[in-house]
């Protein structure tokens, strides 16, 4: 198994813990006092734009 395979098998919660803030591109969307892991988890659960 490759590292990429292991990442694909992670739960949303585990992935949210290791990922970089998805709001980093749009600083106006960041809530400074929020829990970053919860923010990442919410982002992961959103529908993807095609």
Residue 39: Cβ-neighbour burial (10 angstroms; 0-12, 13-18, 19+): middle
Residue 50 lies in a domain: no
Query: Please, what is the Cα angle at 27 between 31 and 46, to 5 degrees?
Result: 70
Residue (of 35, 36, 44, 49) closest to 11 by Cα position: 44
Token pair recorded at residue 42: 């919410």
Percentage of the residues of the chain whose pLDDT score is greater than 70: 74
Segment 9-37 shows an average pLDDT of: 75
Residue 22 lies in a domain: yes
Number of structural domains (the chain) is 1
* pLDDT attached to residue 32: 66
Domain that holds residue 32: 3-44
* pLDDT attached to residue 24: 63
Residue 11 lies in a domain: yes
**pTM exceeding 0.75:** no
**For 24-43, how does the pLDDT look when each residue is reduced to its tens digit (9 = 90+)?**
656 666 666 667 788 888 88
Residue 18 lies in a domain: yes
Residue 35 lies in a domain: yes
């Amino acid at each position: 198994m490759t590292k990429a395979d292991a990442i694909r098998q992670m739960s949303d919660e585990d992935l949210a813990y290791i990922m970089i803030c998805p709001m980093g591109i749009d600083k106006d969307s960041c809530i400074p006092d929020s829990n970053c892991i919860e923010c990442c988890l919410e982002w992961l659960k959103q529908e993807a734009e095609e």
